[in-house]
Structure 1
């Protein structure tokens, strides 16, 4: 019962694991809480582990790789064709386990904490820019209700506002 490939479906608090041996026979179907995942994986000999690329997958990939496992992240759209029956966490873990072994599968590189930090700054800036646009458009719409027409664009709206 040596696990060679393990599919992990990540969730908020409960993770589903699906493991197969070298012949492809299922040797593990397990549900684990977040706190018990790394402890469990410490007891498993190094193997190939697949996970869907999601919000926390890069963190988990770094932690699991630190235990000596080979970790591959798969875009969720590439896992979907491998789901055989109704969509649930156990079926997703099985599909991930199947998809990670495919030779033509494309994988997402694991990001470092520094890379994730830079991406987080870009997303935060993008969110602020969108919120600013929404606010300025709302101000222009409210002014228009009183017959005041302000030009489009942040600089032109703010000039009117200060004037």
Structure 2
């Protein structure tokens, strides 16, 4: 489901080499946009509130990867939970 929405990285693999690229952006653009907007709200709320496992995971990921990649990761996680 997450792959159908375009929330997973594009892969270009050959032999032992595995390269992960940007989001695939295939699938329903409107539904993907809704997932991204919902994920942005989750990331903003998690920034102000650090209790709970999900909030801690979001904050740690945001420190390592930045706001936009964290937003896509949360949207991907929400899509997998819904499926």
**Same fold, judged at TM 0.5 (above):** no
Q: Which has the higher contact order (CA 8 A, sep 6+)?
A: 2
More helix by share: 2
| TM-score range relative to shorter protein | under 0.3
Q: TM-score, normalised by structure 2?
A: 0.28
Q: TM-score, normalised by structure 1?
A: 0.18
Q: Flag the structure with larger Rg.
A: 1
